[in-house]
Amino acid sequence: MGDIFFTFFPNVKKIINNSSSTIALDITNENYSWCDINDTTVPISSLSKGIAIVSPKILRYYTVSFDGNGATSGSMSSFTVNGNDALNLPQNAFTKEGYKFKEWAFKLGGEGYCLGDGGGLLFTEEELWQTGLKKITFKAKWELDTDYGIVQKKGTVLKDSTANYTVVSDNKKIRL
């Protein structure tokens, strides 16, 4: 009944069901969905008893951004991912002098997670609606590059054949 009703009356934006029968709700517009009048955050496909309205669909995508976490050069552009589409992380474009990129750290629901370059995630449209996820920031995690210079503690005096060098900052690699 619901499908036939909306075929004949495509401009209906509100329906009240006072009966005990369930009404199937069908809408073909990608930008709109049926929602219960008391909760327009979750799309519905049928209405038992109550009021349903046509509402703009909740955003079905999220934004991905990157934080270099002290990077000395490089940048990465933000982009959006649609629900139900896999997110495959691009290669890290940041560099940090004296360090190697280790992985990407991010938080979801207060919990911390990590992914390597090229790692992937998938969120369904339903998960996006339920969690309200709109943005994920991936923060670069670094580890000391043991192939880059010498690491010494602040105040350490290093000597070579021509001069003395004093380390002025902790965990900075230097070359003699």
Q: What is the mean pLDDT of residues 23-46?
A: 69
pTM of the shown model? 0.56
Q: What is the mean pLDDT of residues 21-25?
A: 77
Looking at residue 21, its amino acid is S
Task: Determine the distance from the C-alpha atom of residue 26 to the mean position of all C-alpha atoms in its chain, rounded to a whole number.
Answer: 31
With cut-offs at 50, 70 and 90, classify the pLDDT of residue 124. confident
22: phi then psi, degrees, rounded to nearest 5: -90, 140
Question: Residue 151, class by beta-carbon neighbours within 10 Å (0-12 exposed, 13-18 middle, 19+ buried)?
Answer: middle
Question: Residue 29, class by beta-carbon neighbours within 10 Å (0-12 exposed, 13-18 middle, 19+ buried)?
Answer: exposed
Q: What percent of the chain has pLDDT over 70?
A: 65
Q: Are 94 and 74 a contacting pair, CB within 8 Å?
A: yes
Q: Which of 71, 73, 61, 83 is nearest to 139 (CA)?
A: 71
Distance CA 105, CA 73 (A): 19
Looking at residue 101, its amino acid is F
Segment among 29-33, 65-69, 103-107, 163-167 with least mean pLDDT: 163-167
Segment among 74-88, 97-111, 150-164 with least mean pLDDT: 150-164
Domain residue ranges in the chain:
2-56, 61-144, 148-176
**Which parts of the chain are beta strand (E)?**
14-17, 23-24, 32-36, 39-43, 46-47, 50-56, 61-67, 79-82, 86-88, 99-108, 111-115, 120-122, 135-144, 150-152, 157-159, 164-166, 172-174
